[in-house]
Amino acid sequence: MRSSRKRWLIRWFFMTFSFMGLALALFLVVSCSDDDDDIPEPAGGKLVIKFEHRISGQQLALNDMRYVNAAGNPFEVTEIQWFVSDITLHKENGSSRLLDTSGDFVHYVDTNIPATLTWEKKDIISAGDYTGIAITFGIKGPKNTRNYFTDPPESLMEWPIHLGGENGGYHYMKLNGFWRDQEQNRTAFNFHLGVAPKKDNQGNTIFVQNWFETMLPDSSFDFADGETKEVVIVMNVENWFTNPHEYDFDEQGAGIMNNQAAQQIAKENGNNVFSVGTIKSIDNEQ
């Protein structure tokens, strides 16, 4: 009887420890599978956007009155600060992909802050062929809300309340500089674009949204899994002042924030402002 009980206890002991060993092994397998190093990277590529500012194909020179616009105004640029948003990739079949992962839909560009001249998109982009890249100049409608940016330099782009700031919280662009007026005076200008007031047919003040979408010419490219593509977006600054309209500083004056007629000229000229410098793979450069 004692021998039988002893054998039962031995079997129970080994069964218990065998079960515990199996549970420990399963725990280790699950723990290893949770290790981030074992999770494969999602298929697709990444996009890095660089920004350049040029006049007549050459890099913009700041603080130098070497330029003349189509209306014959000698001018210089001291700084350009602007927002670009809603980068969208298009395919031949008509489908499109808005790159806005984790709220990464808008980027601030400043000629005085070199770090802002690069935008590393967070989105993973599916491999394939793309027919073009579209951008929004400024911040689109309902997204342009007050207090979205809490820290400078972006917060310093706030648009005044009395000029429509509650309808569009931030400037689309501040392009500041000087021009030589008809009396040969070096006169400051603030070419600031955003939401501008105007009167409707009943004499009521309304506020006009002057952001615009534009498809970048010659912006087709292809992506391979794991590839990083660099796209250089160029602002051709002189085109703000020509095609289809000649913009005359002597006529428009020093500031246009409350001048929708001047804002409309800039908006329509803006469709010819942006182009692509280069599109290339940079995997071997990193």
Give the separation between CA 179 and CA 76, rounded to whole angstroms: 6
Tell me what pLDDT residue 103 has. Answer: 80
Per-residue pLDDT of the chain (286 residues; tens, 9 = 90+): 444 544 544 454 444 444 444 444 444 444 444 444 554 555 678 999 999 999 999 999 999 999 999 999 999 999 999 999 999 999 989 899 999 877 889 999 999 999 999 999 999 999 999 999 999 999 998 999 999 999 999 999 999 998 888 888 999 999 999 999 999 999 999 999 999 988 888 888 889 999 999 999 999 999 899 899 999 999 999 999 999 999 999 999 999 999 999 999 999 999 999 999 999 998 765 5
Torsion of CA 14, 16, 22, 26, to 10 degrees: -160
Phi, psi for 152 (deg, rounded to 5): -70, 155
Nearest to 196 by CA among 237, 131, 256: 256
Rounded to 5°, the CA angle 174-234-109 comes to: 40
Helix (H) or strand (E) holding 249: helix 249-252
Longest dimension (CA), the chain: 122
Mean of pLDDT over the chain? 87
What are the extents of the domains in the chain?
2-38, 46-285
Residue 45 DSSP class: B
Cα–Cα distance measured from residue 124 to residue 106, given in angstroms and rounded to the nearest whole number: 17
Q: What is residue 267's predicted lDDT score, i.e. its pLDDT? A: 96
* Token pair recorded at residue 257: 């924030």
**pLDDT value, residue 38:** 52
Instruction: Specify the pTM.
Output: 0.83
Please say whether the dihedral angle defined by the alpha carbons of residues 154, 155, 156 and 161, taken in this order, is positive or negative.
Answer: positive
CA distances to 33, 55, 66, 90, 222 from 51, in Å? 41, 14, 22, 20, 20
